[in-house]
Amino acid sequence: MFKKILIANRGEIACRVAATAQRLGVRTVAMYSDADAQAKHVAACDEAVHIGGSAPKDSYLRWERIIEAAQATGAQAIHPGYGFLSENEEFAQACADAGLVFIGPPPSAIQAMGLKAESKQLMEKAGVPLVPGYHGADQNPAMLRHEADRIGYPVLIKASAGGGGKGMRAVEKAGDFAEALASCQREAINSFGDDAVLIEKYVQRPRHIEIQVFADAHGQCVYLHERDCSVQRRHQKVLEEAPAPGMSEHLRRQMGEAAVAAAQAVGYVGAGTVEFIVEGLEGGEDPAAGPPQGGAAPAGAREPHQRHSVGGAHFYFMEMNTRLQVEHPVTEAITGLDLVEWQLRVASGEPLPLTQDQIPLRGHAIEARICAENPDNQFLPATGTLQVYAKPAATSFEAGVVRIDDGVREGDAISPFYDSMVAKLIVHGDTREQALARLDQALSELHIVGLATNVQFLRHVLATESFAQARLDTALIPREADRLFHQERVGAPLAVAAVVAHVLEAEQALAGDDPFSRRDGWRSHGLAQRRFAFDVAGESLHAQLTYGRGGLLLALGEEAAQPLRAERRGHELVLHLGAQTVRTRLYWQAGVAHVFTPQGAARITLVDALAHAGEAAHEDGRLTAPMPGKIIAFLVKPGEKVTKGQPLAVMEAMKMEHTIAAPAEGQVGELLYAPGEQVAEGAELLKMAG
């Protein structure tokens, strides 16, 4: 086993690797950028080396500097984590040339699987089933368009060197192909330095199921069951679970053996994931939606090994990720194994610890990716400080009932330089139903204030009939859109009551035993009343609190008053409003109250009328950046007339492209930035005439 390793990554995966290394007695070296000087992963390691500027190209992608840091600190090996350089064969080769062990597959395997087109050709030779498509070297746009027309729409354009949903576009009709190709290539060149693409038949209503494989340098290779990653937004995973619902043992074995064949075809060593598209798997289709479409190969397409059927389900090779996956904890939960430990042992020359028939499968696990983003605004990434980061109680790693993997602490900032993921919340249960219930409870206890997150959105997904009944496919989120977006489980009356109760409690605490400072509404005769003004999602609300002889009465607007009572239980304030009894926690930030209950969360502003009386009106004719990022292109020119919803500009933030549309009809005035320039959140991008 190694004595010291350098972790060539940041955030939660760096903390994750450090935890296992520490348990095994392996010393660790962290590396950090300017933005990460005080990051959690730096504190988690035994040593730390400054690597460069905040942007990844100035730090975490500088592999020459990383190798120098490993040599200077006496590290014997480098763990790349995932993302950044984890699938860069040049980096892996440079490690070997420098006498360092790359904790991952050999450079030849990374190269073979790193380019999607070439990997598909290899898989075809190895007998692994493929989706019909074009994986050729000719990248002439006219040729690509011809191939898309031949395959038949809808098609999927994918960056050949891509991953993580970047450089990927679904095209429904021929007229949209050219624009989608250009956008895909732009994103691919920015993310991977390579704009080559491949074209595939877009299998509609597919399941996304991946097989975890592990190989050693002694010729052994096993699969550690499967993960279902079908619930996605913008081609990026949201929820992952293991095992896949509806998976038979026969299908598991067939897919597992195909994944092992894929790994062996490239001489794989270490942890890897072979991803498949699966259609027709029981439990993955909504009976009301009709039969699955897009599975058959079009006329003229090459068919060898393209379709593999087991009990009515068909699976196709999609790609292989030559690294540890973000969702590896669900595999650890159902097997009881530490995959990072396996990585370290295999990389140090040891054989695999278990054979195929020794790998256990117990219970069910689900992982939720907690991201700094606004689901109600097209999942735009968010930045800011974690003013509040209250987590549910986690059990031990070994127990695995509730597990939290993160690389942040309360008070840390989520910057625009890196991925938007804040944490991973993993739960395990004896059954899927038990795991689902535990995940919802854990999400209800996860309180984040300071920036937008997807926590409540995830709870909405769990509550849908499609997810609860395991009718899974990659279109679940758009199909359930009416139940997922702009949904509030905590209504205005309850949110208002929570704020009023917390205000009264705070006033009483300040008053103490001083009778002249009491704010309990006591009068020698008559009833005392107080009025409160609130802003809830842009709507003005008024409430009236009456101090009655029998207790408090609260009325919202014109509604009838209800009895209000609250009692403190530890960190929670238990609220009794009419017939409702609800546990609440409230956090204040910049005048906004963030109310959390087991049912959901709400944001509400207690309005100070005097403070807001002199504020200026909002200016018309301005278009501002919804998040910090870089201008990629303006899609309009000064003087051009535009309609509401027309795309005006393309920005890049959190490594993804985002299109900004016109909020209303008008005429473009002046463009205030040039492509390539960085802009801050709220910066005026262009002027619009009414």
**Alpha-carbon distance values, 34 to 37, 58, 73 (Å):** 6, 10, 20
Q: Is 57 exposed, middle or buried (0-12, 13-18, 19+ CB in 10 A)?
A: exposed
CA 180 to chain centre: 23
Q: Report the distance separating Cα 521 and Cα 527, nearest Å.
A: 8
| Paired tokens of 511 | 């008053």
The 8-class DSSP code of residue 130 comes to B
The 8-class DSSP code of residue 53 comes to -
The 8-class DSSP code of residue 516 comes to G
Place of tokens 């409430």: 543
Dihedral pair phi/psi, residue 531, rounded to 5°: -115, 140
- The answer to whether the CB of 494 falls within 8 A of the CB of 582 is yes
Q: Report the distance separating Cα 376 and Cα 163, nearest Å.
A: 25
Q: Report the distance separating Cα 246 and Cα 343, nearest Å.
A: 30
Q: Where are the beta strands (DSSP E) in 379-420?
A: 380-381, 384-385, 388-390, 402-406, 413-414
323 is catalytic: yes
Q: Report the distance separating Cα 624 and Cα 622, nearest Å.
A: 6
Which one is catalytic: 16, 227, 233, 323?
323
Q: How many CB atoms lie within 10 A of CB 566?
A: 18
Question: Is the peptide bond preceding residue 206 cis, with omega within 30 degrees of 0?
Answer: no
Nearest CA to 495 among 444, 556, 551? 556
Q: Which residues contact 651 (CB under 8 A, 6 or more apart)?
A: 625, 627, 629, 630, 631, 632, 657, 658, 660, 679
Q: Which residues contact 538 (CB under 8 A, 6 or more apart)?
A: none
Q: Report the distance separating Cα 155 and Cα 543, nearest Å.
A: 54
The 8-class DSSP code of residue 91 comes to H
Dihedral pair phi/psi, residue 155, rounded to 5°: -125, 165
- The answer to whether the CB of 382 falls within 8 A of the CB of 452 is yes
Place of tokens 């955030």: 11
Angle, in degrees to the nearest 10, between helices 328-335 and 339-347:
100
| Paired tokens of 374 | 């606004």
CA 662 to chain centre: 27
| Paired tokens of 613 | 């009386």
Kind of pairing between the strands at 413-414 and 384-385: antiparallel
Nearest CA to 295 among 424, 473, 124? 473
CA 299 to chain centre: 38
The size of the chain, in residues, is: 690
Nearest CA to 79 among 40, 26, 34? 26
| Paired tokens of 147 | 């191939």
Angle, in degrees to the nearest 10, between helices 116-125 and 249-265:
110
Q: Report the distance separating Cα 164 and Cα 83, nearest Å.
A: 9
**Alpha-carbon distance values, 284 to 212, 259, 281, 309, 475 (Å):** 20, 21, 6, 15, 11
Q: What is the sign of the dihedral through the CA atoms of 506, 512, 515 and 516?
A: negative
Active-site residue set: 323
